[in-house]
Amino acid sequence: METELRKKHFNNQWKLPLLPDYIMRWADLTPESDCIVFADTGRVISYQEFDRLSDLYAMRLKKMGIKKEDIVVTQFLAVPEFYLLVYGCLKAGAIISPLDVKQQAGEVIRDLDKIEPKAFFCLGKTHIRDFSEVAAEVKGNCPYVDHIVQLSSTADGTDIIEGAQDFNKLFDENTLAELGSDDALVNELRSDYDALSPRDPALIIFTTGTTGAPKPALMSHLSIMTNNAVFSRGVGLYGTDYRFLNIMPTSHVAGTAQGPMTAWFCGGAIITVSMFEPAKALAAVEKYKATFFGGVPTMFRMVWALPDYKDYDLSSLRYSLYGGSAVDTAFLKEMAKMSPTFGTALGMTECSGYFTCTPKGISVEEMAGQVGQFYPELAMVTIREPMNEDRTAGQQLQDGQAGEICVQGDVVFSGYYNNPEATAKTISREGILYTGDMGYLQNMGSYKALVFSGRRKFVIKPKGYLVFPDEVADFLARHPDIAEAQVVGVPHKMYEDGVFAFVRPRSGETINTQAVFDYCKGMASYKRPIHIEVWPADEQFPLNKTGKVDAMALIEKARSITEQLRQKGGWDAA
């Protein structure tokens, strides 16, 4: 697409106004360089090809009636078609919102109802599940969805439900080529793109708030690009040296915005696997010479646990980064063996990912306990007292004083989509984001380190996912034999956190725990409890001074039970 800015060679500026501008610039400067390497099949897409195809995807979306700020929801694996669809949406001015492939039909509809998308894209019958059930439920329950499109795994599309469109036919190369010859459509796309601005909405990722209910966090082109600038500075790789192993799910901010988009911000490539598997990830590093391995601690532990881990050639790795939860010194020492440099960071969906990163070359001892430095011109970090009742920011605290970690600057998200009340509780009148995490700043001499003290919210993080106790407890409480349920997180050696459920039976009922485990198959697998403890029917859960259930008392009890399970070889099993 020959935009007005592109005709001017982007005014010889490195800071560009829109996310697709970076794809266009690298397509002009290094057209044959790798943009996407799909490790599952070996398919390689150059910058020139990605730019061309994403133009055609944008034209297809426009032909379908998708307009500026319309929402397109996906339930896709990390395949090339997903990223082409993302950039097709961005070029068309639409908003892309990826959901987790493990979400069940009821969970998908719950999220769709909050944002009312015009189109829903999902898979067909795959090795992990048949998505036709989800497609059928969306068709029957979401009247605002004009288009249901399925990416079939069969040549004849037999796994597509009646009334859905076949992705392979809509986005077939020959069919798209016909769109590319439609001069009126090409001119419309170019004109509409030239009218977009940096603060226009680009992406919705579902996250959570203090209530535990998933909320749609809306990010602009500018907020994502600012995150890309933060992340790239911390990583320190550029151009063809930047080959990022993409192992996070598309529904995670790191699997869509932070990871892939930072690579393309820098002119690098992503080596993507459709779904994380430890051996598959290491094989991709070895075969395609990844230089950057990033993930949550659980992923690192899973690859290190492989019996043949040391047989893989990982010599191409130049940087490794973990985030999402605290680790011990032994973990850091193992990371030091994996690549010449490594680090950690703190981030959240509302900042499009990380807003800090540890300096290069610091020792394991210096890294332990901190989550990195910040770059004030990109993402200013302060420690503050709670937000005031009038929504002004609380007083800023001095170095060494613990308080709530706050972020301000262009990296901050636009707010929760169609939820001004939740947005007002998170962003102050001055535009300062309250993260819900506690910490303090420590002067390290040459930089200030952010030290993470703990999470204000009792969010559980198994395998890097966010699991909200209230959501799981609410699901369990709908079981006919359960009167009340409480859910907490307990440390797990493999998964970082494990979901632990207490359930109290209804009067006169007996709870069959295996039946409850089966019932939990109605939730995404990472939300399901590892252990279900039956609480006596005639006893209340412990209460605190305000009359609310004492979560800390339940956590302590759960930890005591898991210690007993460990002694019998349970709980920590993968």
| Contact status, residue 194 vs residue 3, Cβ threshold 8 Å | yes
Whether 42 shows a pLDDT value over 50: the answer reads: yes
Six-digit token string for 49: 């090809």
pLDDT of residue 457: 64
Around Cβ 116, how many Cβ atoms within 10 Å?
15
**Six-digit token pair at 318?**
């130049």
Predicted confidence band of residue 210 (pLDDT cuts 50, 70, 90)? very low
Supply the pLDDT for residue 459. 77
Rounded distance, CA 6 to CA 24, Å? 8
Q: Can you point out the beta strands (E) in 224-291?
A: 243-246, 269-272
Architecture in CATH of 4-196: 3-Layer(aba) Sandwich (3.40)
Q: How far apart, in whole angstroms, are the C-alpha atoms of residue 171 and residue 58? A: 10
The pLDDT of residue 568 is above 80: yes
Summarised one tens digit per residue, pLDDT across range 484-493 is: 899 999 999 9
Residue 122: pLDDT over 90: yes
**Residue in 360, 358, 354 with CA at minimum distance from that of residue 344:** 358
Determine contact, residues 91/1, Cβ cutoff 8 Å: yes
Q: Count CB neighbours of 398 within 10 A.
A: 9
Q: Which residue has the higher pLDDT, 195 or 369?
A: 195
Q: Which among 274, 369, 281, 358 has a CA at the least distance from the CA of 321? A: 358
Q: In the chain, helix, strand, coil percent, each to 5?
A: 35, 25, 40
pLDDT of residue 298: 82
DSSP E strand stretches across 167-318: 201-207, 215-220, 243-246, 269-272, 292-295
**Do residues 104 and 524 touch, judged by C-beta distance below 8 A?**
yes
Residue 184 has pLDDT above 80, yes or no: yes
Dig out the tokens for 254 from the structure: 């790191």
pLDDT band at 211 (very low <50, low <70, confident <90, very high): very low
Query: How far is Cα 450 from Cα 369, in angstroms, rounded to an integer?
Result: 9
- Identical topology for domains 4-196 and 206-455: yes
> How many Å apart are CA 462 and CA 488, to the nearest integer?
12
The answer, yes or no, to whether residue 445 has pLDDT greater than 90, is yes
Instruction: Please state which of the ranges 210-214, 239-243, 569-573 shows the lowest mean pLDDT.
Output: 210-214
Write the pLDDT tens digit of every residue in 295-306: 988 899 899 999
Structure confidence at residue 322 as a pLDDT band (50, 70, 90): very high
Q: Which sign, positive or negative, has the C-alpha torsion 88, 92, 93, 96?
A: negative
User: What integer best gives the mean pLDDT of the chain?
Assistant: 94
Q: Which residue has the higher pLDDT, 58 or 208?
A: 58
Per-residue H/E/C for 483-530:
EEEEEEEEEECCCEEEEEEEEEECCCCCCCHHHHHHHHHHCCHHHCCC
**pLDDT score recorded for residue 207:** 87
CA angle 345, 400, 443 (to 5 degrees): 65
Domain 462-567: give its CATH code: 3.30.300.30
pLDDT confidence bin for 544, thresholds 50/70/90: low
**SS3 call for 322:** strand
User: Does residue 573 register a pLDDT over 90?
Assistant: no
Taking residues 156-160, what's their average pLDDT? 88
pLDDT at 254 over 50: yes
**213 — pLDDT class (breaks 50, 70, 90):** confident
pTM score of the predicted model: 0.86
Cα–Cα distance for residue pair 292/303, rounded to 1 Å: 15
**393-402 mean pLDDT:** 95
**Minimum mean pLDDT range among 106-110, 198-202, 474-478, 519-523:** 474-478
What is the structure's pLDDT at 209?
A: 42
> If residue 406 lies in a helix (H) or strand (E), which one and from where to where?
strand 403-408
The better pLDDT of the pair 432, 331 is held by 432
- Give pLDDT tens digits for 77-112: 999 999 999 999 999 999 999 999 999 999 999 999
Q: Does domain 206-455 have CATH number 3.90.1150.10?
A: no
The pLDDT of residue 212 is above 80:
no
Q: How many helices (H) and strands (E) does the chain have?
A: 20, 24
Whole-number Å distance between alpha carbons of 306 and 199 = 44
Q: Map tokens 């032994």 to a residue.
A: 330
Give the dihedral sign, CA 472/478/481/485: positive
Question: Measuring CA to CA, which residue among 257, 137, 510 is closest to residue 270?
Answer: 257
Per-residue pLDDT reduced to its tens digit, 452-481: 876 666 778 898 887 878 789 889 988 999
The confidence band for 154, taking pLDDT boundaries of 50, 70 and 90, is: confident
Q: Say if CB 89 and CB 63 are below 8 A apart.
A: no
Render pLDDT for 258-305 as a digit per residue (tens, 0 to 9). 999 999 999 999 999 999 999 999 999 999 999 999 998 889 989 999
Poorest-pLDDT segment among 318-322, 351-355, 438-442, 454-458: 454-458
Q: What are phi and psi of 415, to 5 degrees?
A: 135, 175
Mind listing the pLDDT tens digit for each residue in 342-381? 999 999 999 999 999 999 989 999 998 899 999 999 999 9
Show me where the domains of the chain are located. Answer: 4-196, 206-455, 462-567
Please count the other Cβ atoms lying within 10 Å of the Cβ belonging to residue 63: 12
* Pair 416, 365: CB distance under 8 Å: no
